[in-house]
Amino acid sequence: MELEALQAILMEDLTELVDDLPEGWSRSSPCYRIVINPSDEGEAPAAELDYKLELVFAHTPSYPDEAPLYKARSIRGLGSADLADVSARLAEQVEANMGMAMIYALASTAQDWLREKAAAAGQGAAPVDPAAARKAEDEAEERRLAEIRSHGTMVTPQTFSEWKKRFDAEMALQRASVQGADTTGDKKHKGPTGKQFFRQLEADAKAKGTEMQDEEELDEDVDADYEENGRGDDEDDLDDEDDEDEDEDDEFLDEYLADKTGK
């Protein structure tokens, strides 16, 4: 997939390298060559450029989790010191892009270095408008991002570590929020504990016993009041009145019978 994206971007500047492989490279994996100029395609140089290089690369079995094989070689005007300088710049890019497709980023880094080399020697491309230069840089960056997006988001130890820190922080914040809610308003919605439940039963039993005692004391007070107010004497008086009424009835009956007998 990366090769297809590179071919669409670089076109004829990307070719497969069959011969002249760097020393120690195996032919078991395909090798490729990218020709790099200081000027982009469509930019007309003021004169024939004296600097030109090629980036030779091959994918390794664990790429992009490990660095690809790569080497910068001079096509025109570059010495061993120049190649060592550009190689150091490429090594920085490899470290920064580990875990992601990086060949296009390496080619762009090599071209930027070559631009600086040509500009320092006064042999660069014809002066261009700053706005056009920014536009070209934006387009190059967009092509680089499009290449990365075509492979999806690569997970590296660094990106995973950053994500893990954010995830742990979010989980800690969530747990703190839940615990804070438990210690404030949420407690009122929870039922009593077992200890609280039995203490409540004990308190209810004591309260009930107190009420029964109060009722008994109230009954005793009522009886005492009843006796103190003479309600018991009244009953005795009523009984005496009933006895008197019975005596009167007996006397009346005796008189009636006596009269009847006399007749």
Q: What is the DSSP string of 41-75?
A: TTPPPSS--S-EEEEEEE--TTTTTSPPEEEEEEE
Whether residue 168 is contained in a domain is answered as no
The set of long-range contacts for 1-4, using a CB threshold of 8 Å and a minimum separation of 24, is 1/150, 1/151, 2/101, 2/103, 2/147, 2/150, 2/151, 3/32
Q: How many helices (H) and strands (E) does the chain have?
A: 7, 4
Helix axes 80-96, 103-121, angle to 10 degrees: 140
Q: Looking at the 3D structure of the chain, how many domains does it have?
A: 2
pLDDT digits (tens, 9 = 90+) for 147-173: 666 666 666 777 788 888 888 888 888
* Length of the chain counted residue by residue: 263
Q: With 90 as the cut, is the pLDDT of residue 252 above it?
A: no
Q: What domain range includes position 202?
A: 194-262
Are 39 and 92 contained in the same domain?
yes
Instruction: Report percent pLDDT > 70 for the chain.
Output: 57
Q: For residues 218 and 110, state if they share a domain.
A: no
Instruction: For residues 15 and 110, state if they share a domain.
Output: yes
Query: Residue 67: left if φ>0, alpha if ψ -120 to 50, beta else—which one?
Result: beta
Claim to verify: residue 18 and residue 148 sit in the same structural domain: yes
> Are the beta carbons of 99 and 156 closer than 8 angstroms?
yes
pTM, rounded to two decimals: 0.47
Among 67-76, 147-156, 188-197, 228-237, which stretch is predicted with the lowest mean pLDDT? 228-237
Name, in order, each residue with C-beta under 8 angstroms of 138's C-beta and a sequence gap of 6 or more: none
How do residues 95-132 score in pLDDT, each as one tens digit? 999 999 999 999 999 999 999 988 887 644 445 556 76
